[in-house]
Each structure stands twice: as structure tokens, then as C-alpha cells.
Amino acid sequence: MEVVIHSSLAELAVATADRFEGAADGRLQRIGLATGSSPLPLYDELIARHRRTGYLAAVEFFQLDEYVGLGGDDPNSYRQFLLEHVLGPLGLPAERLHAIDGAAADPFDEADRYEAELVAAGGVELQVLGLGSDGHIGFNEPGSSLGSLTRVKTLTATTRSDNARFFAAPEDVPHHVITQGVGTILRAGEIIVIATGAGKADAVAATVEGPLTSSVPGSALQLHPRVQIHLDEPAAANLARADYYRETLLARPRLPDPPR
Ligand code: GLP
């Protein structure tokens, strides 16, 4: 994993947005998007660049996860989050987002349908991820199979409490979700993880320097040949090898790898 520690969120936004330059000549066509506050500086930078060049006009976007029970028009659905923060400001139609239907009559069938849709599309060349404070990626909570595919998961109390700030009342946070699996995520050609703030410091250390374990689903990213994790100083605070990472000579963005 390439670990990149930034002195400001503005610097993080520029460095992560640079990985999307392949979209300018059509080499990057399918991008997976995470929700949450961590990727917002990146998304704002992508929107600013797109307004100058239009380079994301032909890209297809894929959702990472969704709450079971919330329809795609619900203001708390992750589909709405991505339309509001990414596709809308990019001026792209909602159909450009491959969405998970949290209100599907059978969420288990919907998970299978979405996994098949991703495979049929050829997978994503680039996947954006955040990191849960318990080390989850997508909504793959601790204990998730490291080979898992898109499926229904139950949220931990920690995650429901972390995400309660977006809902009118804590009890409104759904208990169940549909999420791309760890194995699904690992098929992406390249992965960018963004984690910021002191609340992520333990999860970051366990993901980057801890053992490979389903107890920290983010640690599965150690198996992927092309992962960058972009951090601010508070999120990097518990890394034993922080000084070493600061000396890392980063590879230039290059041709996207095809999905695996
Ligand atoms: C949710 C999402 C994750 C996201 C995480 C962190 O649990 N399912 O995809 O990474 O929140 O969110 P934030 O970036 O707001 O801390």
C-alpha cells in the first residue's frame, strides 16, 4: 500500500484528483464512488476540474453500498448523496450512476443483481473508498469474509452510532445494508482510500500495518497491487512507520489497470 500523508485537505484533494486524469482521453471509463465526508474534498476538486475541461463527461459511476429500506429518492440514501455531491454538480444525468436499490422487494436478490451488473459492465478501473472507524470498507463490517461479494450485511452498533449524525434520530439509522463485498472491491484496477481526522487513526494503523484479518476488513487492501491511502496528519498519528512513508517516492499516475 502506498501511504501518502498530507499537511492539508487541499493538498489531499489535488493528489487524489490527479489519479483521475486518465478520464481525459477515455482510458478511465468506470469509477466506483464511496459516500461519507472523507472523499468530499476529492469530489469538490473533480467537479472544479470537470467544469474547466469536461473530462468526466463520458464516465460511468458505480455505487459502493446502500441502506436496506431506503429508496433511491430518500434524502438519506447513498444514491441521493452521490447525486447531490457528485453527479449533480458534474452536470451528469442520474442514469450515469449504477445504483443499488435499497428498497428492492428482496434485498438478497438485489445484491446478486448488482454484483452481476458490475461484472457485466467489466468492473471499475478506479475505486474510491473511505474507512470506517472500526476498519470497515464499504459496509463490510469486522468479520466480513475477505472473499465476499455484494450482499446484505448487518451494521455494528459502532457504525450505526457513527452514521447517526446524518439522520433525524439515532434509531432511524437502518440496521441492514447492501454492500459490495471485500472480494468485489479487490477486483478494481486501482483503489484510492481517503481517511481523515483523529477518529480514524486506530483504523488506519490496523489497515496499513496490522495483520491481514477479517476483524479489520480494510487490511484486505494489503493484497491489492495498486492501492494508495491518503491521510491527513491526525489520521496518520498512530502509524509506526509514518516517517518512512513521508519519504515514499510516489509513482506517477499511469495507464489504469483493467479490473481484475
Ligand atoms: C460509511 C460508508 C463507508 C465510509 C464510512 C466513513 O460507513 N459506508 O463507505 O467509508 O462511512 O465515512 P466518513 O468518511 O464520513 O467518515
Contact 171, 93 (CB under 8 A): no
The mean per-residue pLDDT over the stretch 72-76 comes to 96
On average, the pLDDT of the chain sits at 95
The mean per-residue pLDDT over the stretch 44-62 comes to 96
CA of 143 to the centre of ligand 1 (A): 17
**Which band of pLDDT confidence, cut at 50, 70 and 90, is reported for residue 256?**
low
Q: Can you read off the three cell numbers belonging to residue 130? A: 473511505
How much of the chain exceeds pLDDT 70, in percent? Answer: 97
Asked if residue 192 has its Cβ within 6 Å of ligand 1, the reply is no
Q: With a cut of 80, say whether residue 136 has pLDDT above it.
A: yes
Quick one: residue 226, left, alpha or beta (phi over 0 = left, psi -120 to 50 = alpha)? Answer: beta
Nearest ligand 1 atom to alpha carbon 179: 8
Helices (H), 98-227: 107-121, 157-163, 182-186, 201-209
Asked if residue 67 has its Cβ within 6 Å of ligand 1, the reply is no
Q: With a cut of 60, say whether residue 202 has pLDDT above it.
A: yes
The mean per-residue pLDDT over the stretch 152-165 comes to 94
The pLDDT value given to residue 55 = 93
Asked if residue 35 has its Cβ within 6 Å of ligand 1, the reply is yes
Q: Which residue has the higher pLDDT, 92 or 258?
A: 92
Output the residue whose Cα is nearest ligand 1's atom 6: 132
The pLDDT value given to residue 102 = 98
Q: Can you read off the three cell numbers belonging to residue 250? A: 510516489
CA of 136 to the centre of ligand 1 (A): 8
**Which band of pLDDT confidence, cut at 50, 70 and 90, is reported for residue 247?**
confident
Q: What is the distance of C-alpha 246 from the center of its chain?
A: 23
Contact 128, 46 (CB under 8 A): no
Residue pLDDT, tens place only, 178-195: 999 999 999 999 999 999
Annotated catalytic residue: which of 141, 162, 190, 232? 141
Output the residue whose Cα is nearest ligand 1's atom 11: 36
The mean per-residue pLDDT over the stretch 215-232 comes to 97
Residue pLDDT, tens place only, 7-28: 999 999 999 999 998 788 888 8
Cα 92 to Cα 73, 97, 121, 180, distances in angstroms: 17, 9, 19, 23
Residue pLDDT, tens place only, 88-120: 999 999 999 999 999 999 999 999 999 999 999
